[in-house]
Amino acid sequence: MDYIEPHAHMVSRSTDDYEKMALAGCRAICEPAFWAGFDRSSPEGFRDYYRQLTDYEPKRAAKFGIPHFCWLCINPKEAEDAGFAREVMALIPDFIDSPTVLGIGEIGLNKNTRNELAIFEEHVQLALDHDLAILIHTPHLEDKLKGTRLTIDALANFPKLDRNRVIIDHVEEHTVDLVLDAGYWAGMTLYPESKCTLSRAVDILETHEGDRLWLNSACDWGVSDPLAVVKCGLEMRKRKHADEAIHRILFDNPKRFLSQCPNFRLD
Ligand SMILES: [Zn+2]
């Protein structure tokens, strides 16, 4: 079944995973900048990471006929040291004109600290200055509800922000309405253990109109499944969702959001 993977950390996946995704019907992969599983020792380490995201991964994906796009930022987990974060952010303009960059992400909060919030707001301003879309990470477990509220409150201080070009990711049952009601897009991240399982995601889809929702697998270095999005399509089919409804959530919705980014294209 045709689908778009709008949030995948392919730098931590094998080439076999690209092949599996291509075989499963993946038509585009979007990769937000993110934590490597360990803190980088210098801001310059991010220069190589951005090269990997903008140059190497698109080539690796192209071998399987999949266009690969990316989002740039310093992730919230490494934003607590604001001086370090600002040095990294100063590198971003060197890469922003790369032909596969979609916008700024995944920014946001991790432990909901003051420094994280400051760096988050500076990223939002960077996106506004360059007229770019934004992808936002929300915290895990006990920090999620508070962090999602803080995120939405912080965004309200940017009256020029086009909310239709902002996606707030990793929503769950208790945060999805906060995000949608404020006029943003919402992403559900399908994880085997934490975040949203396949059946919980389908439960949410069955109780929401869903025209500003997308699904992603995140598939990072932790326990995660690069085929989770298409498996969710299968779960929908088992529950007798119509093919058009499945196509809408797996393909049309991410395409509609991403088409607002000038560099996005489908081969
Ligand atoms: Zn992520």
List of domains in the chain = 3-258 (3.20.20.140)
Segment 95-107, tens digit of pLDDT: 999 999 999 999 9
> Which residue(s) pair with 200 in the sheet?
none
What's the confidence (pLDDT) of residue 142?
A: 79
- The candidate with the shortest Cα–Cα distance to 11, out of 107, 147, 1, 40, is 40
| Chain mean position to CA 226 | 14
Instruction: Please give the distance, rounded to the nearest whole angstrom, from the Cα atom of residue 8 to the centre of ligand 1.
Output: 7
C-alpha 31: how far from chain center: 7
pLDDT above 90 for 141: no
Q: How many CA within 13 A on the CB side of residue 178?
A: 21
Which residues make Cβ contacts (< 8 Å) with residue 58, sequence separation at least 6? 67, 68, 69, 100
Q: How far is the CA of 138 from the centre of ligand 1 (A)?
A: 10
Residue 225: pLDDT band by 50, 70, 90 thresholds? very high
User: What's the gap in Å between 167 CA and the centre of ligand 1?
Assistant: 12
Q: Averaged over 88-100, what is the pLDDT?
A: 97
For Cα atoms 108, 111, 113, give the angle at the middle one, nearest 5 degrees: 80
pLDDT in tens, 57-77: 999 999 999 999 999 999 999
Centre of ligand 1 to C-alpha 234, Å, is 23
- 1 CA → ligand 1 middle, Å: 23
CA–centroid distance, 42 to ligand 1, in Å, is 21
Amino acid residing at 100: T
Whether the pLDDT of residue 258 is over 90: the answer is: yes
25 Cα to the center of ligand 1, angstroms: 21
Spatial distance between the Cα atoms of 100 and 22, rounded to a whole number of angstroms: 19
The proportion of the chain whose per-residue pLDDT surpasses 90, expressed as a percent, equals 93
pLDDT over 90 at 235, yes or no: yes
Distance 227 CA to ligand 1 centre (A): 15
Measure the CA–CA gap between 216 and 231, rounded to whole angstroms: 11
For residue 7, how far is its CA from the centre of ligand 1 (angstroms)? 6
For residue range 17-71, list pLDDT tens digits in order.
Answer: 999 999 999 999 999 999 988 899 999 999 999 999 999 999 999 999 999 999 9
d(CA 198, CA 231): 8
